[in-house]
Chain A
Amino acid sequence: METVAPYKTTNKVRIVTAASLFDGHDAAINVMRRIIQATGCEVIHLGHNRSVADVVSCAIQEDVQSIAMTSYQGGHIEYLKYMYDLLHEQHAGHVKIFAGGGGTILPVEIEELQAHGIARVYSPDDGRHMGLQGMINDLVEQSDFVTPNIFAANLSTAVAERNPAAIAQAISAAERNDMASIDFVKGAKQSPVLGITGTGGAGKSSLTDELIRRFLADFPDKRLGVISVDPSKRKTGGALLGDRIRMNSVSSPRVYMRSIATREANVAINKHVGDVVKILSYAGFDLILVETAGIGQSDSQITEVADVSMYVMTPEYGAASQLEKIDMIDYADIVALNKFDKRGALDALRDVKKQMQRSRTAFNVSPDTMPVFGTIASQFNDPGTNTLYSEIITLLNDRCAVGWKSSYSISEEMSEKIYIIPPERTRYLAEIAEENERYDAYVESQSDIARKLWQVKSTVEMLKK
Chain B
Amino acid sequence: MSAIKELENLEIDLQQQLSQEVKKLLESWEKKKASYKGEFYSYTVRGKEIKVENYVESLSHTKIPKILLPRFKDWGEIVKWSMQENVPGEFPYTAGVYPFKRMNEDPTRMFAGEGSPERTNKRFHYLSKGMPAARLSTAFDSVTLYGEDPDYRPDIYGKIGNSGVSIATLDDAKKLYSGFDLSSPTTSVSMTINGPAPMILAYYMNAAIDQECEKYIVANNLVEQTEKLIEELYRDSGMARPVYLDEDGSNALPEGNNGLGLLLLGVTGDQVLPQDVYNECKIKALSSVRGTVQADILKEDQAQNTCIFSTEFALRMMGDVQEYFIAEKVRNFYSVSISGYHIAEAGANPISQLAFTISNGFTYVEYYLSRGMKIDDFAPNLSFFFSNGVDPEYSVIGRVARRIWAKAIKLKYGGNERSQMLKYHIQTSGRSLHAQEIDFNDIRTTLQALYAIYDNCNSLHTNAYDEAITTPTEESVRRAIAIQLIINRELGLAKNENPLQGSFIIEELTDLVEEAVLTEFRRITERGGVLGAMENMYQRNKIQEESLYYEQLKHSGEYPIVGVNTFLSSKGSPTVIPQEVIRSTTEEKEQQIKNVRSFQERNREKIGAAITKLQDDSVHNRNIFASLMDAAKVSSLGQLTNALYEVGGQYRRNM
Contacts and interface: CB of A to CB of B under 8 A. Distances in A.
A450 B142 contact: no
A51 B469 CA distance: 26
Contacts of B162: 73-75
Contacts of B652: 206, 209, 246, 248, 378
A427 B528 CA distance: 7
A380 interface: yes
Interface string B526-540: 001111100010000
Contact of B26 (A20, A45, A380, A450): A450
B70 to A, nearest CB: 13
A106 B155 contact: no
A460 B11 contact: yes
Contact of A453 (B11, B157, B363, B412): B11
A261 B464 CA distance: 48
A384 B468 CA distance: 49
A103 B581 CA distance: 11
Interface stretch (B170-178, B181-189, B304-312): B304-312
Contacts of A419: 370
A420 interface: yes
Contacts of B647: 380
Majority SS at the chain B contact face:
helix
A446 B76 CA distance: 8
A381 B79 CA distance: 56
B454 to A, nearest CB: 24
B74 A454 contact: yes
A432 to B, nearest CB: 5
A379 B312 contact: yes
Given A23-B142, A421-B370, A463-B7, A52 B525 contact: no
Interface in A53-94: 53, 73-79, 81-83
B304 A436 contact: no
B572 to A, nearest CB: 12
Given A107-B577, A427-B525, A435 B408 contact: yes
Contact of A449 (B18, B404, B407, B583): B18
A2 to B, nearest CB: 14
B11 A456 contact: yes
Interface in B363-379: 363, 366-367, 370
Contacts of B514: 436
B145 interface: yes
B524 interface: yes
A342 B514 CA distance: 31
Interface in B570-587: 575, 577-578, 580-581, 583
A30 B18 CA distance: 58
A362 interface: no
A78 B154 contact: yes
B522 A242 contact: no
B577 A103 contact: yes
B408 A432 contact: yes
Contacts of A381: 649
Contacts of A307: none
A454 B76 contact: yes
B650 A453 contact: no
A378 B312 contact: yes
Contacts of B313: 380
B83 A436 contact: no
B372 to A, nearest CB: 12
Identify the interface centre among B304, B316, B519, B529: most chain A CB within 10 Å of its CB.
Answer: B529
Contacts of A248: 650, 652
Interface in A428-465: 428-433, 435-440, 443-444, 446-454, 456-457, 459-460, 463-464
A446 B544 CA distance: 43
Contacts, number: 233
Contact of B18 (A24, A435, A446, A464): A446
Nearest to B307: A24
A52 B146 contact: no
Given A24-B304, A433-B522, A245 B155 contact: no
A45 to B, nearest CB: 6
Nearest to A438: B411
B426 to A, nearest CB: 22
Nearest to B159: A75
A450 B10 contact: no
Nearest to A453: B14
Nearest to B528: A426
B362 interface: yes
Contacts of B578: 106
A22 B143 contact: yes
B301 to A, nearest CB: 11
B128 to A, nearest CB: 26
Contact of B22 (A77, A428, A450, A463): A450
A453 B163 CA distance: 62
B408 A125 contact: no
Nearest to B514: A436
Contact of A430 (B143, B525, B531, B581): B525
B577 A20 contact: no
B11 A457 contact: yes
Interface in A148-191: none
Nearest to A81: B154
B346 interface: yes
A319 interface: no
Contacts of A449: 14, 17-18, 22
B621 interface: yes
Given A78-B154, A429-B362, A439 B411 contact: yes
A450 B17 CA distance: 9
Contacts of A20: 155
Contacts of B311: 378
B84 A443 contact: yes
Given A427-B529, A454-B75, A443 B80 contact: yes
Contact of B521 (A421, A430, A459): A430
A432 B412 contact: yes
B315 interface: yes
A115 interface: no
A24 B195 CA distance: 12
B653 interface: yes
Interface string B245-279: 00000000000000000000000000000000000
Contacts of B435: 103, 124
B156 to A, nearest CB: 7
Nearest to B524: A429
Interface centre among A103, A422, A426, A429 (most CB of B within 10 A): A429
B634 to A, nearest CB: 25
B467 to A, nearest CB: 11
Contacts of B310: 378-380
Interface string B494-537: 00000000000000000000100011011011001111100010
A147 interface: no
A52 B155 contact: yes
Given A428-B366, A435-B412, A463-B3, A73 B163 contact: yes
A76 B158 CA distance: 7
Given A49-B305, A430-B522, A454-B75, A106 B577 contact: yes
Interface string B152-169: 011111110011000000
Given A52-B154, A421-B366, A456-B10, A447 B79 contact: yes
B306 A24 contact: yes
B108 interface: no
B648 interface: yes
5 contacts: A27-B347, A418-B621, A429-B525, A459-B7, A460-B4
Closest 8 CB pairs of A and B: A75-B158, A451-B76, A24-B305, A78-B158, A380-B649, A22-B142, A82-B154, A454-B75
Interface of B: 3-4, 7-8, 10-11, 14-15, 17-19, 22, 26, 74-80, 83-84, 142-143, 145-146, 148, 153-159, 162-163, 300, 304-306, 310-313, 315-316, 346-347, 359, 362-363, 366-367, 370, 404, 407-408, 411-412, 435, 468-469, 514, 518-519, 521-522, 524-525, 528-532, 536, 544, 547, 575, 577-578, 580-581, 583, 621, 647-650, 652-655
